[in-house]
Structure 1
Amino acid sequence: MEAHESAPLKEFEKTGSTRIVTLGNAFLDTILYLPEIPDKPTKMRVMDVKMTGGGIAATAACAASKLGAEVSYWGRLGVDEVGDRIVERLSQCGVKTHGVARVKGGRSPMGTILVDQGGERTALGFIGRNLGDEADWLPLEDVSGLSGVLADYSWWQGAVALFEAANRKGIVSVLDADVGDMNAVHNLLALPEHLVFSAACLRRLTDHSDLSDALRKADGMCRGVVSVTDGERGFFWCADGQIHHVPAFKVDPIDTNGAGDIFHGAFTLGLSEKMTIEEAARFASAAAALKCACGSGWESIPDRQQVETLINGGNA
C-alpha cells in the first residue's frame, strides 16, 4: 500500500465543549427520487436528484456537530475527486478532518440511494477500493481529550485501535453494528461500552427472530450494553436481563435514508454529555425523526433547538 496523505494534525480549538471522534466510512451519495422503487428491470423517469454526503460514521459526525459537539471524523479516502468532495462537505458541516488519510491509488466510497414517495429507500454502495486496513497512523494521542467515540463496523482494525484507546482513558465508546460485515462485528463485540445493532444484525448474530430474546443472548456475548434500533418501533436495550424501550417519534417521512446514522451520532453525543441511556435514546430518536421529516442528506440534519423542541412536545 502506498503512503497516506492527510491534513496536518490540529488540536481541538474549542474549550469546554463535548468532543467526539467518529471512525468508519464516508460516502458521496447520489439520491434519486422515484415514484416507486422497482422490483424488476425497468426504465423509469426520476422525479428529482440530489448529491450529498453519506456513510455511517461521517453522517454521525455531521449530526453530532450540528447538535453542538466538536467532532472529528477519522477514516480513509482515495486521492480522488470523490474524496475531495467528501472532505469539503464534512468541513462545511463543521467536522474536523485531520484524521482522514488520503490514500494514493485508492478509490473513495460512493453510494446511490433510491427513495420512493413514502420516504422508504434502497441503498446501493461502492465501499471504496485499495484503501488499506492498517490503523497505525491514527492520531490516537487525541483520544485523551475526548468525551466519546463512535465507530462503525466497516473498518474494524481502526475501530479496535480507537476502542482500546478509549477504554484505557475511560471514555464513552459506541459501536454501530450492521450486517455489511458480520466477521467485523464479531471482532468488535468485546470492546465498546455500548453496542447499537440494527435489527437485522442482531437477529443474524444471535439466530433469534424475537428481538427481546436476541438482546438477552447478545448481552452474554458482549462486554458493553447491548441495544437495537428497529425503525418505527423505536429503540430497545438490555439491562440486568430486562428489556427497556424508547418509542420512535411519529412523523411523516420524506426520506428515511441516514436516520440510523444520525441516531448513532446523537446517541453518542447524549452519552458523552452524561445523559442516561433512556435520555440519550430519546434525544437521538428525536434527531432521527426530524431528519426523516425534513428531507434528504446532511442538509436535513436538525439542530439542537429543533430536537429539544420536539422532545418537549413541539411539532416535527
Structure 2
Amino acid sequence: MTAIAVLGSTNMDLVAYVPKAPRLGETVTGTAFRAVPGGKGANQAVAAARCGGEVVMIGAVGADGFGVRLRSALAEAGVETAALRTVEGASGTAHITVDGEGANSIIVIPGANGLVTGLEAGDDSRIGAADYLLLQLELPLEAVLAGARAARAHGVRTVLTPAPVQPLPPELLDLTDLLVPNEHEAAALTGLTDPHAAARALLQDVPEVVVTLGAAGVLYAARDRRPLTVPAPRVRAVDTTAAGDTFVGALTVALGEGRPVPEALRWASAAAALSVQRSGAQDSMPTRAETEAFALAGRSAGTGQPPGPHPEPTPGAPA
C-alpha cells in the first residue's frame, strides 16, 4: 500500500450551479447550491485514500462548524487526521461557480489554511514515514517549503501541484520530484503556450512533469525518456471541480504501487473521468474498485477509453 502524506489546504466548497457563468457586473439566476468539503490538499488526500493509499493529512481547520465537517469528511474517507489542527477563527472556503458545460471558476478564502506557516511537532516524522508527499499552493509558501525540505531529508518523493499558480522559488523546484500543472499553469510558469515546449522548459528545473491537457489528456515528460501523451477518456462532464486533484491522488497511488508510467497515467485519467461525471469535489471521487472497472473497460475496448457513446470529452484534470 502506498503511504502518502499530504501537506495542504482544507476548504468548505460553496458551489453555485448556473446555466452560464456571470460576466463582470452581471447577475444571473442559479439552478442549485451545495456546501461540500474541498480544498486542494484535502481533495488529493481523499482521492488517494479512496484509490487505496494509506494517507495522512497535515494542515488546519477553523474552530467553526465547517471545520467539524471537513475533519469528519476526511476521516470517513479513511484519511488519518491526527495532524489536522483546529485553530481559532474560520475554516478556509472556496466559492465556486459551475456552468452548464461543467466548467468552473473558483475564489479561495484561506481562513485557517493561512495560519499554517510551517511544520509542527510530529509532522516531520509523518512525512518521513511516507513514500510520497503531496503539496499544493493553497498554504503559505513557507509551509510548502518546510514540507518539501523534510521530504528530501527523508528520501520521500515530492509531488507538487502548482495551484493557485504563482512564481516558484528555485529551492522549491529543486526539492520537487514530480510537477503536475495543468496546461494553463504550465504556460503561466514558463511563458510558453505550447504544452510540449512548456514541459521541456520545466524539465530544466524538475526531473519529471505531467501537464494535464483537458480533453486532450495528459502529457508526461522526463529528463531521461521521450515524452508521452495519454488521451483522456471521453465522457459527459457534469462538474470538473477537483478532477485535477483526483488525478494527482490516483496517480500517486499508482506510481507508489510500481505501475509503469503509461499505466499509471491511464489509471489516474480514469479516476478523473469518473469524477467529472458527478457533482462536487470529494463527493465525486471514485473508489479503487470503480477506477479499476472503468480502466479495465477501456482496455477491453482496445482504445484506452471506456466503450460506448462518447458525447463530449472530459477535461482531464483542471480543478
Shared fold (TM-score greater than 0.5)? Answer: yes
Partner Cα separation in structure 2 for residue 308 and residue 302 of structure 1: 10
Counterpart of 1:227 in 2: which secondary structure?
Answer: strand
**Aligned 8 A contact 1:172 1:271 in 2:** no
| Most deviating of 90-99 and 252-261 | 90-99
Corresponding residue for 1:293?
A: 277
Corresponding residue for 1:4?
A: none
Partner Cα separation in structure 2 for residue 174 and residue 311 of structure 1: 23
| Cα distance change on mapping 1:160 and 1:68 into 2, 3 Å | same
Calculate the TM-score normalised by the size of structure 2: 0.86
Partner Cα separation in structure 1 for residue 68 and residue 282 of structure 2: 17
In the alignment, does 2:45 pair up with 1:61? yes
Counterpart of 1:188 in 2: which secondary structure?
Answer: helix
In the alignment, does 2:213 pair up with 1:230? yes
| Cα distance change on mapping 1:140 and 1:207 into 2, 3 Å | same
Corresponding residue for 2:242?
A: 258
| Cα distance change on mapping 1:125 and 1:21 into 2, 3 Å | same
In the alignment, does 2:2 pair up with 1:26? no
RMSD: 2.0
Which of 147, 158, 167 is matched with 1:162 structurally?
147
Matches within 5 A, 1:87-102: 87-102=71-86
**Aligned 8 A contact 2:165 2:188 in 1:** no
Deviations 1:232-291 (A, max 9, x none): 111112223732111111110010011001111111111111122222211111100000
Q: CA deviation at 1:18?
A: 2.5
In the alignment, does 2:161 pair up with 1:176? yes
What residue identity is the alignment partner of 1:121?
N
Counterpart of 2:297 in 1: which secondary structure?
Answer: coil
Counterpart of 1:98 in 2: which secondary structure?
Answer: coil
**Aligned 8 A contact 1:78 1:131 in 2:** no
What residue identity is the alignment partner of 2:260?
T
Unmatched segments (≥5 aa) in structure 2: 299-305, 308-319
Q: CA deviation at 1:132?
A: 4.4
Q: CA deviation at 1:57?
A: 1.1
**Aligned 8 A contact 1:178 1:200 in 2:** no
Corresponding residue for 2:69?
A: 85
Which of 59, 75, 78 is matched with 2:59 structurally?
75
Deviations 1:74-99 (A, max 9, x none): 11222233222211221222211111
Which of 294, 308, 311 is matched with 1:310 structurally?
294
Corresponding residue for 1:140?
A: 124
Corresponding residue for 1:219?
A: 203
Deviations 1:42-91 (A, max 9, x none): 33332112111111110011111111222111112222332222112212
Unmatched segments (≥5 aa) in structure 1: 1-16
Calculate the TM-score normalised by the size of structure 1: 0.87
Q: CA deviation at 1:102?
A: 2.0
Q: CA deviation at 1:187?
A: 4.5
Corresponding residue for 2:317?
A: none
**Aligned 8 A contact 1:179 1:200 in 2:** no
Deviations 1:8-47 (A, max 9, x none): xxxxxxxxx3321111111101111112111143333321
Partner Cα separation in structure 2 for residue 279 and residue 253 of structure 1: 23
Partner Cα separation in structure 2 for residue 308 and residue 241 of structure 1: 27
What residue identity is the alignment partner of 1:274?
G
Corresponding residue for 1:189?
A: 173
**Aligned 8 A contact 1:28 1:51 in 2:** yes
Counterpart of 1:107 in 2: which secondary structure?
Answer: coil
Deviations 1:134-186 (A, max 9, x none): 32445211234323221112333333333333333333321111344324x65
